[in-house]
Amino acid sequence: MAELAHNIGATDGDGSPRSKDNDRLDDTEAEENLLLVCHDCHKIIDNPDHVDFFPPEKLREIKEAFERRIEMVTENGGLTRTAALRIGCLIRGSLAMASQREIAETLLAVNYLGLVETQRSGDFTCRINGSAGGRGFWDAAQQSIDDTIAQVRQAVESGDVEHISVFAIAPVPLLFYLGWHLDDKTPTRLFQKHRDQFIGWSWSDQCGPVDFEIVASEEDASAEDVVLICALTSEVIRAAFPSAVDGAPVIEVRPVEELPGPNLLSHEQTLTNFADRWRAALAMAEARFPSAKRWHVIASAPVTASIEAGRALVRNIHPPVTLYERTDVAYEAVIVVNE
């Protein structure tokens, strides 16, 4: 399970890592110089090619950081126990999915403790195979999500899981579909994969939060179709709309004083702001277009916003929703929810 290691080597010579610093210690066997590490990490930090990347000061910082986390757990239960729900798909032929290490590091950074007692209650993994244009892809992908969510619900109902952390990579319609399955009864936190490798899946507060506004068509009590647009990652091209929604009223949620872009959603408060505006947009659709028999969602949005958009949909109250995927030619209807 673990090995006892020395920060500064206990003996002199090339075979004793960081031993050049041992004149700074009176006792190399003292507790402050000892580390408890797994076999793999022991090999990495003591490897001659890596030793310069792990000077004594850095190893002490890592050790002290973990000690502080252990103190939080044992003294006042300061870590939130959470189960990771991770979803991945093929991107250019390779599986894109958060690794267990990325998840562990992200959770620890926000004082979350990942559940690891059993595979059922600690790590829910959904691998979506095939490519978005492939035969039967959307049906098979929905089934994979259904199967994973069924495991999550079973763990929640049994009391094994009381909090969920979501790490997902998938096409927008599937993320909306995932959100539609996630209820508000179980506390859930969404994490965003950022392009900046130093941020990874963690939220950043380097830029201030972004607000959103709703732009809507005039009221039309007789409209049977309503288009809901979410333009966050890029502009939604209206010229590419399918003929089925020609002339339908439109309600759009877009950033205020910001252009849509891939880095728009870096601050977690931005996600909260979007979720509030999106729910307001759905309420507006109900009020302005009471005869609508179907909503059409066309979105260019990051992972977490797509999931939140799906979570806002209320079963058996809101009308059926058709979700669209952008192709080279136009937006294509691929999934229907709430039907």
Task: Please enumerate in sequence order all residues whose Cβ is within 8 A of that of 315, keeping only pairs 6 or more positions apart, or say none.
Answer: 180, 338
What is the reported pTM? Answer: 0.79
Query: Please, what is the Cα angle at 163 between 162 and 165, to 5 degrees?
Result: 155
Buried b (16+ CB within 10 A) or exposed e, 12-48: eeeebbbbeebeebeebeeeebebebeeebbeebbee
- 34-37/225-231 β-pairing: unpaired
Question: Which domains are delineated in the chain?
Answer: 3-75 (no CATH), 80-191 (3.40.50), 212-337 (no CATH)
Amino acid of residue 67: E
- What is the distance between the alpha carbons of residues 275 and 210, in angstroms, rounded to a whole number? 12
pLDDT tens, per residue, the chain with 339 residues: 788 888 888 777 667 788 776 666 678 788 888 989 888 888 888 888 888 888 888 888 888 887 877 776 666 556 788 999 999 998 888 889 999 889 988 988 888 877 765 555 567 999 999 888 778 999 999 999 999 999 999 999 988 888 999 999 999 999 999 999 997 789 999 999 887 666 789 898 778 899 999 999 998 889 999 999 999 999 999 999 999 899 999 999 999 999 999 889 989 999 999 999 999 999 999 999 999 999 999 999 999 999 999 999 998 899 999 999 998 889 999 999 998
Quick check: 309 and 285 in contact, CB under 8 A?
A: no
